[in-house]
Structure formats: C-alpha cells, structure tokens
C-alpha cells in the first residue's frame, strides 16, 4: 500500500471524507457550518488575510473532526469494550476538536470586531 500514485492516494482521502460525512453527524454539522461561514465571508468581503485566517481555522476544525473520527473508529475496533484507557484516548481526541472549534470561534470574533470597528 505504500508509495501509491498521487491519484490513488487522493481517491483514498476522498473515500475517507465521504465515509466520515456519511457516518458522523459531527462531521456533517462542521461541514454545514463551514459552508455557512463561506457564505458570511462572501457577504462581508473581508481582505485576503481574513480569508486566509478563516479558511485555515475552518480547515483545522474539519481536520481535527476527521482525526477524531479516525481515532474513535480505530479505538472501537481494537478494543470494543469500555476501557478507561480507551476513554482517555477518545476524550483527548474530542478535546482536540473542542480546542480547534474555540480557536476558529476566536478568529470569527476577531473578524466580527474588525468589521464592526472599521465601519
């Protein structure tokens, strides 16, 4: 499986994205929020630095959500019973999503303040 051509690796990545979007409600919610954020950005028309910050923060949220999904599936597969160590792994993965969401929210608040203060 190593050293697959780029197109094949891209196909694997898109399959993972499709699976996560179908199987995980939180991924669907984050995706809808991302689309709404793009709509707000199109309406506000901020400068390119704000686009970069918002897109980077949004990508961070979706990425951590995907990693959280992968960790949870792997942990459940390897150890289906409830186990204190697995709980810690899953809680830490969920905490990573929370940190990413809080960071993205901070970017959103900063953008809102910028828009309000520059009008």
Find the DSSP H helices in 1-119.
6-23, 25-44, 48-78, 84-117
The one catalytic residue among 24, 49, 65, 72: 65
Based on the residue annotation, tell me whether 49 is a catalytic residue of this protein: no
Tokens of 55: 């897109």
Half-sphere exposure of 113 (CA within 13 A, CB side): 6
Which residues are tagged catalytic?
65
């Amino acid at each position: 499986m190593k050293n697959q051509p780029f197109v094949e690796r891209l196909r694997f990545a898109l399959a993972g994205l499709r699976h996560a979007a179908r199987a995980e409600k939180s991924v669907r919610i984050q995706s809808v929020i991302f689309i709404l954020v793009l709509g707000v950005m199109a309406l506000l028309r901020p400068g390119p630095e704000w686009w970069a910050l918002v897109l980077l923060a949004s990508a961070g949220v979706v990425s951590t959500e995907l990693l959280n999904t992968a960790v949870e599936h792997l942990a459940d597969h390897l150890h289906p019973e409830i186990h204190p160590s697995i709980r810690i792994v899953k809680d830490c993965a969920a905490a990573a999503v929370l940190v990413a969401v809080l960071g993205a929210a901070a970017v959103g608040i900063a953008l809102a303040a910028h828009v309000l203060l520059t009008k």
